[in-house]
Structure formats: structure tokens, C-alpha cells
Copies of this chain bind each other. A is one copy, B any other.
Amino acid sequence: MTSEPAPRRSRAEDSAATVGDVAARAGVSRATVSYTFTQPNRVSRELRQRVLAAADELGYVGNDAARRLRVGHSLALGLLISSTSNPVYAEIAAGAEAEAAAHGRFILVANSDESLERERAYISFFESQQVSGILAIPVGDVPAELLELRRRGTPFVLAGVAAGPHSYPAISGDNERGGYLAASHLLAQGRRRLLFVGGAHPHVDLRLAGAKRAVAESAAPASLEVIRAQVQTAKVGEAVSRTLLERPKTGFPDGIVAGNDLLALGLLHGLILAGVRVPGDLSLVGYDDIEFADFAIVPLTTIRHPSAALGASAVRILLGIEEEQDTKGRFEPELVVRATSLPLAGNDRG
């Protein structure tokens, strides 16, 4: 592919119409066409209508590259996700996308698939695209590139909780409270030997902190063990269940709080297959209330939080329509009781 002769570009019908084409058709200058779209009041009603009609006839779309080159930033927002296998992220993305669409904006989704290298590449990509803001769902630390970008004028908002002592613009539900709700629920059922299984993510740490508080405040004596999972997938959940099953009966927990529903589903599957009765022998609470929680082998008790609303809110903050502090107190977590935590029911579930 060294030399393309390229004698095309007759501009007539084949390539997209430009301001010049519209201007010619409407019998005005290119400046007028531009003002018609960017500052309609700057143009008299008559010309405005002529321009709009001409644009419509030509199917004028406008070249965002040219626009961006001039004004310095795009209409798009970037969304940085670490994985698409977790439905929660899809839900946040859907919420963000709908909100963006309502404001004539668009979302560029980048899925880094847990790879730091790809994450960096995508931030670079967002910069080259001059997105007007970035919505990031952090895996852990906020990447340095994101801070650098912000220094250059591109803001970001985290959907979730950032690691470390710094405080970045972020919105999320109250994870500590969610963890507290989950553990309290188990304690109220009479469970005493609790286990928390979760990854090393900052928001999961908060859930753990909430669970710890519930145990500490408990009137009855209760214990809380912690098992760390590298990533919070169903596969890992099954693996954890296998290590649990190797234990003697005495060391077995009677209540589990999982860092998210995927993990919970994996745990549940592994335990049930091995003959553990849930909730007979053991109660289980997940986190997120993904759609499939209700369809699980035993429908999963979990903590619900409004992911889509959260994504929408993050977009509004990026667009400057909403202030971060206004979101405080919204997005309250809520306990959804299903079958994995019913206090001792017979085997005839179903």
C-alpha cells in the first residue's frame, strides 16, 4: 500500500457534505453556516432556516475532526472499564451512555481487560481523541497518566472508590454500609462464624470494613475470617469453595459475605455441587444484585445499589451539570433477601 492514485473526491455526491457545500446551496457564507449550528441566535431566522434546509437536503453531518481541531476537544466522553464480564460494569456503562445521549454527547468505551498496558494505551487514545472528560472505573490505583491528563485540562470522575490516601472526584454508593448490612443480616439469622471473601479493591475493602463493624457491634460473640481473592470472578469463587471444602467441619464458616455477586455465584455453585446445603448449612450474601442473582442455582441474597444511576450521575458531573457533593447520600445500598440466606428451610426449595 505505497501509492494510491486517488483521483476520486468529486465532492458531488460521493463524499460527505461540508460547510462549504451547505453554504453554497443556501447562498450564504461558510461562517453563517457554522454560526447556525453553534450559535443559532447569531443568525437571522430566515437565513437560519435556509441553512438548515440546505443541510438537511445534503445530509450534512459535520466533521468532528475539523471541529475538534479548532475548538480543542471532542463531544465524546471516555469510559475506562477493566472488564466487561461483570454485568455491573455494563450497567454503569448503560446508565452513563443514556445520560450522555440525553445531552448530545457520546461515550467511548475502552475495556482494558485488567491489563495495565492496555489501560495506558487507552488513556493515550482518549487523549488523542481529545475527549472532554473521562469516567473511570478504577481497578486499583488511579493511573498516573490520568492525573497528567487532568493537569492538561481533561477532567475525570471515578465511578467507585480510589485506592490510596488521595481524594479524587468519585461517586459511589456507601460500600461500608453495604458490607454492614450484609454481615448484620447474617448475624441476625444466628450465624456466628462469618467469612468474608473478596478481592483487594478499595471498594471491597470498604465492604469488608462494614462487615467488621457489624461483627464488632454484635451482641452475641461472632468471628469474621477473611479470604482474599485476586480477582472477583465466578471461576475464582469456585476455586475458593474447593479450598474451603478441604477443611475439617469445625473450621467451616456458617455465613459468607462475598465481595460481589460473581464471586458469590462461583462459591455457591462449588459448595452446592459438593453437597453443602445452602442456606441449610451456610448462608451466603453477595453484592451488586446482578440480573442473574435471581436465577442462580439457589437465588442469591445480595446488596443492591443503583449502578445505572451512578453512571448517569458521573456523566452529569463531568458535564458540569451536577456537583459531586450533591450525590452524597444518594445511591444507598439495600439488602435484597433471597434464598441463600433464608434461615433453615427444608430441602424442598423451589
Contact = CB atoms under 8 A, between A and B. Distances in A.
A62 interface: yes
Contacts of A299: 297
A182 to B, nearest CB: 20
Interface stretch (A127-135, A190-198, A219-227, A246-254): A127-135
Nearest to A69: B65
Contact of A297 (B14, B85, B124, B297): B297
A244 interface: no
Nearest to A104: B121
A272 interface: yes
B128 A61 contact: yes
Interface string A167-199: 000000000000000000000000000000000
B269 A294 contact: yes
B269 A130 contact: no
A111 interface: yes
Contact of A16 (B15, B63, B152): B152
Interface string A56-70: 000101111111110
Interface of A: 14-16, 59, 61-69, 74, 76, 84-85, 87, 90-91, 93-94, 97-98, 101, 106-111, 113, 118, 121-122, 124-125, 127-130, 148, 151-153, 234, 265-266, 268-269, 272-273, 275, 291-292, 294-299, 350
